[in-house]
Chains A and B, each alone.
Chain A
Amino acid sequence: GAVVSQHPSRVICKSGTSVKIECRSLDFQATTMFWYRQFPKKSLMLMATSNEGSKATYEQGVEKDKFLINHASLTLSTLTVTSAHPEDSSFYICSAIQGAHGEAFFGQGTRLTVV
């Protein structure tokens, strides 16, 4: 299957700082990528849909200014958690759609801990 690489896998940051997470489609181009947040023992919660060359579409309740998404190329989308607080600590996962039938492939996830 297709490969989606997410980096970093783990990050610890101080409260008030910003953290950038990268999501790359390694062997295919992805006009659309998705960002999810996952709480312990819970299913994935869609945060936003990232569209190459245009603004991301955020789900209800997700702060646009808090979670900045940039999809500058067909192989890279970034999620920046700005002014991070401990409640932002979570597992963040990206996915990219490949092919006409819409198979979704996921990155390895990023464990963010804000201290």
Chain B
Amino acid sequence: GENVEQHPSTLSVQEGDSAVIKCTYSDSASNYFPWYKQELGKGPQLIIDIRSNVGEKKDQRIAVTLNKTAKHFSLHITETQPEDSAVYFCAATLNYQLIWGAGTKLIIKP
């Protein structure tokens, strides 16, 4: 079955700097890759997603890249702000079922 690995588990960056979180997946049939942001005590919130027929997608300060050959995808957050502090999860989707990464705790230092 599908397996998703996510790195790093914790990422601390200075406010204003960029943050990059990386995920790899194992099943080449996976075709949809969402990223979720989870704040403490709340459910995950979809922040950006990418499909297997696209290599890059951007939404303001957030971008996601996908390398199908290498089976990895990354989340890029530029000009980080304090409100970006949260846990971020990547996922790979096969037949509508999400396979989750372990999560990355992003800390934005003032």
Known interface pairs A43-B89, A102-B32; A6-B46 also in contact (CB < 8 Å): no
Total number of residue pairs linking A and B with CB closer than 8 Å = 53
A70 within 8 A of B: no
Whether A6 and B43, one on each chain, are in contact in the complex, defined by CB atoms closer than 8 angstroms, is yes
Whether B97 and A46, one on each chain, are in contact in the complex, defined by CB atoms closer than 8 angstroms, is yes
Whether A43 and B100, one on each chain, are in contact in the complex, defined by CB atoms closer than 8 angstroms, is yes
**B residues less than 8 Å from A108 (CB atoms):** 42-43
Known interface pairs A1-B46, A43-B103, A44-B89; A104-B98 also in contact (CB < 8 Å): yes
Known interface pairs A101-B51, A106-B43, A109-B42; A44-B32 also in contact (CB < 8 Å): no
Known interface pairs A43-B101, A44-B100; A101-B44 also in contact (CB < 8 Å): no
Most chain B CB atoms below 10 A, which of A4, A34, A44? A44
Report how far A49 CA is from B34 CA in the complex, Å: 19
Whether B46 and A105, one on each chain, are in contact in the complex, defined by CB atoms closer than 8 angstroms, is yes
The count of residues in chain A whose C-beta lies closer than 8 Å to any C-beta of chain B is 25
**Number of contact residues on B: which range applies?**
20 to 34
B110 within 8 A of A: no
**A residues less than 8 Å from B101 (CB atoms):** 43
Q: Scan A65-92; emit 1 where CB is below 8 A from any B CB, else 0.
A: 0000000000000000000000000010
B74 CB → nearest A CB, Å: 18
Whether B46 and A103, one on each chain, are in contact in the complex, defined by CB atoms closer than 8 angstroms, is yes
Whether B46 and A101, one on each chain, are in contact in the complex, defined by CB atoms closer than 8 angstroms, is no
**A residues less than 8 Å from B89 (CB atoms):** 43-44
Q: Scan A99-115; emit 1 where CB is below 8 A from any B CB, else 0.
A: 00111111111010000
Given A43-B102, A49-B97, A108-B42, 9 other A-B residues pairs in contact with their CB atoms under 8 A: A42-B103, A44-B100, A91-B41, A93-B43, A103-B46, A104-B34, A104-B46, A105-B46, A109-B41
**Sample of 27 A–B contacts (CB below 8 Å):** A4-B43, A6-B43, A34-B98, A42-B102, A42-B103, A43-B101, A44-B89, A44-B100, A46-B98, A49-B97, A91-B41, A93-B43, A95-B98, A102-B93, A103-B46, A103-B49, A104-B34, A104-B46, A105-B46, A106-B36, A106-B44, A106-B45, A106-B46, A107-B43, A108-B43, A109-B43, A111-B41
